[in-house]
Amino acid sequence: MEYFSFLWVDYFNNILIFFNLKFDFFNVICSLVMLTGGMFVMNFIFIELWDDKEGSCFLITLGIFVSFMLILINSNDLIVFYFGWEGISITSLFLVHF
């Protein structure tokens, strides 16, 4: 099991909030499955929206969505999980807009 952690918020050395991600076997397998599915969706969207003027914006939004999914899957504490969850909800709202 491997952890990735860095100090996110330091409020006068009284409140310390760390950005913790956990990488173990289960998280790596789930991340690989999610990245494979995201790759297939992005490939399909790239082929279908080749000549659309908003296709690149949709692909960027989908990439941000996949990044927030990775944060959600690999989160090790509730604050990072909430950050990933809210990021997914906002980007899915933007994706529905398209």
CB 72, CB 84: distance < 8 Å: yes
The count of structural domains within the chain is: 1
**Tokens 């529905």, residue located:** 96
User: Does residue 85 belong to any structural domain of this protein?
Assistant: yes
User: Does residue 9 belong to any structural domain of this protein?
Assistant: no
User: Does residue 14 belong to any structural domain of this protein?
Assistant: no
Q: Which tens digits make up the pLDDT trace of 45-55?
A: 888 887 878 77
User: Does residue 4 belong to any structural domain of this protein?
Assistant: no
User: Does residue 50 belong to any structural domain of this protein?
Assistant: yes
User: Does residue 57 belong to any structural domain of this protein?
Assistant: yes
Please, what is the Cα angle at 34 between 80 and 66, to 5 degrees?
Answer: 55
The model carries a pTM of 0.81
Q: Which tens digits make up the pLDDT trace of 53-75?
A: 877 888 889 999 999 999 899 88
For residue 24, what pLDDT is reported?
85
Domain of residue 80, residue span? 24-97
